[in-house]
Structure 1
């Protein structure tokens, strides 16, 4: 029973946000949700940095246009999943690209170091 409850919770957490198995819209805004130090060490070309662990992340989402599409990534995919869930809750269209390397592969975007 516990496994079913855990699987149900995981599946419910994924409802409403896209995963990176689909192609990205051409006009998507890519957001790196890592710390500024991580962002400086290497990020996708053209990405903006919004640290999901920083105070005020949820409030910063209010500045994003709800009519635009967004894609998020982090180091391993954990924080990007958290950010995607928060963004989806805020009514934004978001795709979780997972890790930096996965995001580069899926988006065809260069990593700037």
Structure 2
């Protein structure tokens, strides 16, 4: 399995710049969603890609998703990790899913 993000996918780390600097998924883009309106956040998201948002425990990425959805942004290609994600500065991550899927 490749550890590279596919070209048609963008991983968006919605945490603060400080948290991002302390470790993140390799190739993830940092956009602190909590400081932006839904319109501002949507404008910063890469166009034409599947977007997967993450944070450290799933709460902020879910909030970012709901912020977009509630503002009537098309979220058909936007997803979020519901997981505890801990990465070191080298980009090595441990991911524990909060609620296993079916």
Same fold (TM over 0.5): yes
Superposition RMSD on alpha carbons, in Å?
2.5
Q: Which moved more, 1:57-66 or 1:45-54?
A: 57-66
**CA offset digits 1:26-61 (Å, max 9, x no partner):** 321000000000000000000000111113463131
Per the alignment, residue 79 of structure 2 pairs with 95
**Secondary structure, aligned partner of 1:76:** coil
Residue 48 (1) aligns with residue 48 (2): no
**Secondary structure, aligned partner of 2:33:** coil
Stretches of structure 1 lacking an aligned partner (at least 5 in a row): 1-24
TM-score (norm 1): 0.58
TM-score (norm 2): 0.64
- Greater helix content: 1
Q: 1:73 to 1:63 in 2, by over 3 A?
A: closer
Q: 1:42 to 1:57 in 2, by over 3 A?
A: farther
Residue 60 (1) aligns with residue 45 (2): no
User: C-alpha separation between the residues in 2 aligned to 1:32 and 1:65?
Assistant: 13
Question: How many residues are treated as equivalent by the alignment?
Answer: 81
Larger-Rg structure? 1
Aligned ranges 1:7-22 → 2 under 5 Å: none
- Check conservation: 1:31, 1:48, Cα contact below 8 A: yes
User: C-alpha separation between the residues in 2 aligned to 1:43 and 1:28?
Assistant: 16
